[in-house]
Structures are given as C-alpha cells and as structure tokens.
Chain A
C-alpha cells in the first residue's frame, strides 16, 4: 500500500540550492509551493559530495570520463515532506525550477514516510503537516 506521505530530497550544488532559496523569498514561488501542498522546507548546507561525474568539471568529464580522481564539492540537500498525492505535480515544478541542462543540476529522491508527529501538540499525519487546529 502506498504511504500517505512522501519525502522529497533534492541533492544539488550549493549554488543551485542558493538560487532555489532565493526563489523561496519570492511571493509567487511560495504561493506555488503552498498550492502544491508544501508546508515546510528543510535545507542542509555545508555538506560535500559528488555524483556520477566524480565532481569533475563538465569538459573534463566529457573528455576523460572515469580517468580523473574523485573531487568532493560543496552540496546542499533540500528536504520537503508532503502528501503522496501531491508528489508528481511537485516534482514537475521542482524539475523545471532546478533545470539548467548542465551537469550538477542534482537529483531528486522520493521516499515513503510512515507517519508525522508534531511534538508540540501531539498531532499526527495530515494534521501535523498543516497549521495546528490547536493554534
């Protein structure tokens, strides 16, 4: 059975995530995300990593694939928890926002969440995702 909630994790270069954060400061982006059921975002910065290109520059990887040492680059991870029914639409939005066509656009991971619990009120599930009924 499909889980009711999903976790979307975007792993991308720090620069691209910084652009995304910049967009989060804009009303239209926030409206769009809210409309897609996003009620919160968590961003992990100051992490390092690399993808299948071993962290090499585009031209270096293109010309000498697998011949260069692994290089760990500054990365960021954006985590969004939302209802599973909204995942497809949200991913389409995120793909367009993150896309440049260059190596390093990042990857989006989707996984199931079994439950969500708001510690302050004890609410669970959808109630814990949205504004608390107790507020």
Chain B
C-alpha cells in the first residue's frame, strides 16, 4: 500500500475537521461574557478533549483499521445498548444539529449581502440541497480539495486572529476593558461553550490506514490539531478585544463578519464571505460523508437497520444522505438565524458529543481490565488519571452546558426526549433483533468479524434455517 499521509497532512485534516464558522458564535459568546479570561475556558476544554482523543487513540490501537470507529470500541467495551445510544446520539443526532448551525451561519452572511429580498433560509436550505444532490451522485470532494479548503480556512483564521491580536488592522481599535469578569465561577462554566472548538479531531482515526507511521502519528496529530485550534481561538479572543465591543460581539448573528469588517473594512467582509462559503460547503459535506460512513458501518454491524447501508447506482448510501439532508433542511427552514439559536444547536450537539467522549474513556478503563494482555501500540500515559479527569471534565461541561439557565433547561429537555427515544429503540433492537445481552461487551474478535458482510448474511441464513448459533 502506498501510504501518503504524513504528519502535515494528518494535522491539516484534523484542523480542517475542527474549524467551522459556527465556532465564531461560541468564541463571541464566551468572550463577550467574561472578556479575555475566556482563554482559561478554552485551555480547559482543549485539555479535556486532548484527554478524550488520547483514549480514542488507545482504543484504535486495540482495534485498528475498523470502519465504524468508536461504535466498535463501545460495542467491545460497554455492549450494544450503550453503543447504539452513544453512537446514534453522539454522531448522527448531534450532526443533525451541527449541519444546520453551519448552514445558518452561511445564510446570515449571504442575507447580509443580498439584503432583504431573499429570506436567509433559502441560502441555508439551498446549499444543503446542493450538497445532498452532489453526494447522492457519488461525487466525493477529493481529499486534495478538502485539504485546500481546510488550509485556506486555517490560514485565514490565523491571519485574522493575529492581525486582530496585534491591532494591525486598518480599522479603528476599540478601547475597552480586557477583563469583564475574573471570577472563576463565571469563567469555568464557559468550558462547555469552548468545547465546540475542539470536536471532531477523532475523525483522523479512519485515516490511520493511509498514514505514515500511524502508531505515532495518529495520537500526535490529534493532539497537535487540538493544540493549534486552541492557539488560534486564544489569539482570536485578543483580536476581539481590540476590534469589537464586547456587547456588540455577544449580540451579533455573524460575529466573524463584525470582527472582520471592524478590522479590515469592506475587504474583511469579502474575505469572510469566501471563508463562510468554503466553511459551509466543507463542514456540511464532511458531515454528510462522515455520518453516512458511520451509519453504514453501524448497519454493517447490524446495529442499525440494513437499509442504512443501501447504496444507489453511484455507490452513495442514499438513505442516510436523504434522512440527514431532510432533517438539516427542516431545521434550517425553521428560520434559525440569531446567535442564540445557533448556539442552542451547537450546545445540544456538544452535549451528545460529550457523552460519546465519556464513553470512550469508560471503554479504555473496561478494556484495560478485560483485555489487559492485548498488545497496544499506543497506551495513554498515566492511566487512569487522564480517563478519570477527562470524565470529570466532560461531566462538568454537561452540567454547565449553557450559562443561560432557560437555554440549559431547553437543551436538557430536548436531549432527554431524544435520549429516551434512543433508549427505547436500542432496547428493542438489541433484545429482539440482535438477540444478545444488552450490556455485555462483545469480544474483540467478534466485533472484527462483524465487519464482514458475509457474517451477517450467513447469520441470517442460519437463523432462517433455525440453526442455533
């Protein structure tokens, strides 16, 4: 095999996965609440997610080269019930919220450009429909295109944040206090807001098959991607301080445009429009690709109904793509536009994602006990410190998912309803379809066997013949 992806390629992919324009809503919301001390929350969230990806790297070392990723790790560690709940919740449902958040950011910036003549929803729904059609036609944006887009966005953010932080823009700098609140009671709850910057680094794991020296490069590239993203966001907070009044930043529906225009005038706006288009296309396309891949992997393992892996003549898993596209369009068409609404979507998505990270930590702990002799090319250092601290940090962020108590309760209510639905589905699916123990971890060899399509077809054939397995 020609392994081509080196450390640079892996990091650019990782950072590309992390960057989305909806991150600006999170950074604006956090920075406008406490000022520059928001960087403390950014650092804590970054560390929490570094711990999570280290656990994921260890799980990948136990079960390398699998398509479903965390689904398979959880199946081996915690059994099928938790696997379906965390995977469908953590990746399918959460991305159903992440995609329209990005679409809304794109719609806002386009609506500003087009004026009131076209409703913003037209832009967000329009771009989603185009991407759904493109994906249904089996046209995959090549990794080269994705890398170019990701590199452009990273460079843009680095330049915009550095210019802002050093006050080197053409616009007038704002004289305002750097610190709004230095009270840790105000700062620490914002770690949940900062969490949004750092989700998705684990999507480097599926690249391991094509990476040079994956044993070393997978964990290192995930850590470096998170570190780079953290640095960019920290510098950006200082840029905000120099060019955007804190109050205006918190209220803006497109804080990145506000910042870019204040710093670079009309050229800043044009630059941000290009960034927004690239970001919307790249992020929504990545979501459609990765979620359809995960759902296919789960259907292959019989954790989701078989139609999730049905493919059309172009080889595209049309059912997942259509479902995802439909749900994204419905949320986008509901008229999401304000920063608060986008923030609601990203925080709801974050809550599910936090659950899946906790699951990864628990998986490591269980597999260290259950399979202590299995060779691991990578082991998280200082076990079980990172796992314990990681779980505590994720739980803390879940409990402080929003600083606004009404929004927090609404997020909990929505998550509770979705979670309850997932529990019911998972229970019946595992009990009556899979007919296996709900909470018993499946052996690693069996998880790997389940990768083979022949496994399920033979199993069904044997079941039809009434043979006991």
Stretch at the interface among A38-46, A92-100, A114-122: A92-100
Cβ contact within 8 Å between B454 and A99? no
Q: How far is the CB of B180 from chain A (nearest CB, A)?
A: 50
Cβ contact within 8 Å between B64 and A62? no
Cβ contact within 8 Å between B445 and A62? yes
Cα distance, A59 to B64, chains bound together (Å): 18
**Could you list some 30 contacts between A and B, CB below 8 A?**
A57-B452, A57-B454, A58-B445, A58-B449, A58-B452, A58-B455, A59-B452, A59-B454, A59-B455, A62-B445, A62-B446, A62-B449, A62-B455, A63-B455, A63-B458, A63-B469, A64-B462, A95-B375, A96-B375, A96-B376, A96-B377, A98-B375, A99-B377, A100-B64, A100-B65, A101-B63, A101-B445, A101-B448, A102-B445, A103-B445
A48 is an interface residue with CB less than 8 A from chain B:
no
We find that the number of chain A residues with CB closer than 8 angstroms to chain B is: 16
8 pairs of A and B residues whose beta carbons are closest in the complex: A59-B455, A95-B375, A99-B375, A58-B449, A62-B449, A59-B452, A96-B375, A96-B377
Cα distance, A102 to B65, chains bound together (Å): 11
We find that the number of chain B residues with CB closer than 8 angstroms to chain A is: 21
Cβ contact within 8 Å between B449 and A59? yes
Taking CB as reference atom, which chain B residue is nearest A99? B375
Q: Which B residues are in CB contact (< 8 Å) with A98?
A: 375
Cα distance, A92 to B376, chains bound together (Å): 10
Q: Which B residues are in CB contact (< 8 Å) with A57?
A: 452, 454
Interface residues of A in 55-112 (CB under 8 A from B): 57-60, 62-64, 92, 95-96, 98-103
**Which residues of B come within 8 Å of A, CB atoms?**
62-65, 215, 374-377, 444-446, 448-449, 452, 454-455, 458-459, 462, 469
Q: How far is the CB of A115 from chain B (nearest CB, A)?
A: 31
Q: Which B residues are in CB contact (< 8 Å) with A102?
A: 445, 448
Q: Which B residues are in CB contact (< 8 Å) with A58?
A: 445, 448-449, 452, 455
Cα distance, A98 to B458, chains bound together (Å): 29
Q: Which B residues are in CB contact (< 8 Å) with A103?
A: 445, 449
Q: Which B residues are in CB contact (< 8 Å) with A63?
A: 455, 458-459, 462, 469
Q: Which A residues are in CB contact (< 8 Å) with B449?
A: 58-59, 62, 103
Taking CB as reference atom, which chain B residue is nearest A91? B375
Taking CB as reference atom, which chain B residue is nearest A53? B445
Q: Which A residues are in CB contact (< 8 Å) with B376?
A: 96
Q: How far is the CB of A6 from chain B (nearest CB, A)?
A: 19
Taking CB as reference atom, which chain A residue is nearest B213? A28
Q: How far is the CB of B98 from chain A (nearest CB, A)?
A: 31
Q: Which A residues are in CB contact (< 8 Å) with B455?
A: 58-59, 62-63
